[in-house]
Amino acid sequence: MGLKSRNTNKMTNSNIAISIIIVNYKTPQLLLECVRSIVDTTKELSYEIVIVDNNSEDESEILIATNFPIVKWINSGYNAGFARANNLGIKKSTGEFIFLLNPDTLLSNDYLAKMINYHELLSKTEKVGLLTARILSSVDNSLLVGSGIGFAGIKKEWKKNPLSLKWQQIFKRKNKEGVYHAETMHFKNHEVDFVSGACALIKRATLESLNLYMDEDFFLYWEDVEWSYRIKKMGLKNFFFAGAEIFHVNSASTSSLIHRNAQVRISEFLFYSKRYDKLSFHLVGILMRFNYFLTSLLLKRSKDEASLAELNFDKLLFKQYFYQAYEQYCEKNKNERPYLKYVEETIK
């Protein structure tokens, strides 16, 4: 049943093809099923599983130790977030390939072998950075879009502007060329800009030679987008592989939807601070304030109280965290860089 009885020879071999890095936080049963799916679907491939636990303080470790004792278990000692914990796991692993995997996922048959084979095929003609594959909901098999084309920034914020929205409505065209349709493209092999950290493959030699570890300033969310952005800036290409898929319980370790959405937005602010120079970053801020002003007028006029409440909450997040992101992580050279985390008590 367990990893020990089925893979002892593989796991003790120093020539490991792939290291699977899983960051765990309070998802013991999901983690157990995730590891079991790796064992059940990976037959003819040498691999190791490295789990980094972010101070879960539950039965996660005992469950894994009992059922899969050969798994490498690392206790971070605190809630290190996604990027720092993954980097820790990467540095403690030895595989030729590194594969980041969420604990609330299940692999399809021969998933890892298919990913490596496609990476090697691409590498014959391309400088490959990250490789990802299709993600489906484990609840209803619906497509979960975690990769695509186009990085968030000034263009994205402009598209939210009421004037821009009106312009698009007037001049919209059916079947407009150049629009990325994930529902179609996620069933085709193609190059993408960013990939999901829920299932991301990279060659160790590539990561280490270019020092492409994840940015540890990010606590949770958007670290995979920043990672993808930085990898592309280094002259590599990121790809989507349609020949494999995983099943994912989205945000299983996040207790509150409001808290999750707030942290997503805050991490987006941090990405902007990483992507842009000081002037461009402040231009984004001006555009966002302009958008808040116009959108608020329209929502008050239409008496859409629910949407207005959402907008006002986003404005509070902007006020509290947007400029703090740049000041804390880009202007000040600190030895200690505390996370930019959502704290409900500071929003007022």
Residue 206: other Cβ atoms inside 10 A: 19
Whose tokens are 């989205």? That residue is 250
> Residue 319 corresponds to which tokens in the numbers above?
């006020």
- Number of separate domains in the chain: 2
Q: Let me know whether 74 and 214 are in one domain.
A: yes
Q: Let me know whether 265 and 243 are in one domain.
A: no
Whether 157 maps to a domain, the answer reads no
pLDDT tens for each residue of 257-312: 888 899 999 999 999 999 999 999 999 999 999 999 999 999 999 999 999 999 99
Q: Let me know whether 269 and 232 are in one domain.
A: no
Burial annotation 3-32 (CB, 10 A radius, 16+ → b, else e): beebbeebbeeeebbbbbbbbbbbbbebbb
Whether 163 maps to a domain, the answer reads no
Confidence of residue 251 (pLDDT cuts 50, 70, 90): low
pLDDT tens for each residue of 156-179: 899 888 888 777 666 665 445 567
Q: Let me know whether 211 and 283 are in one domain.
A: no
Domain assignment of residue 226, given as a range:
3-147+186-248
- Given a contact cutoff of 8 angstroms between Cβ atoms, the answer to whether 234 and 88 are in contact is no
Instruction: Rounding to the nearest 10 degrees, give the CA dihedral for residues 251, 257, 259, 264.
Output: 60
Per-residue pLDDT, 346: 65
Per-residue pLDDT, 9: 35
Q: Let me know whether 228 and 295 are in one domain.
A: no
Confidence of residue 31 (pLDDT cuts 50, 70, 90): very high
Q: Let me know whether 48 and 124 are in one domain.
A: yes
Q: Let me know whether 288 and 326 are in one domain.
A: yes
Q: Let me know whether 132 and 277 are in one domain.
A: no
pLDDT tens for each residue of 138-150: 888 899 999 999 9
Whether 51 maps to a domain, the answer reads yes
Q: Let me know whether 329 and 243 are in one domain.
A: no
- Given a contact cutoff of 8 angstroms between Cβ atoms, the answer to whether 18 and 47 are in contact is yes
Whether 135 maps to a domain, the answer reads yes
Per-residue pLDDT, 173: 52
Q: Let me know whether 135 and 271 are in one domain.
A: no
Q: Where among 226, 248, 270 does a domain terminate?
A: 248
Whether 20 maps to a domain, the answer reads yes
Q: Let me know whether 217 and 266 are in one domain.
A: no
Q: Where among 248, 275, 299 does a domain terminate?
A: 248
- The β-bridge partners of 255 are none
Whether 162 maps to a domain, the answer reads no
Q: Let me know whether 141 and 261 are in one domain.
A: no
For residue 238, the surrounding DSSP H or E stretch is strand 237-248
Whether 319 maps to a domain, the answer reads yes
Say what the pTM is.
0.89
CATH of the domain at 212: 3.90.550.10
Asked if the model's pLDDT at residue 4 lies above 50, the reply is no
pLDDT tens for each residue of 47-89: 999 999 999 999 999 999 999 999 999 999 999 999 999 999 9
Cα torsion angle, 148, 224, 254, 251, sign: positive
Whether 160 maps to a domain, the answer reads no
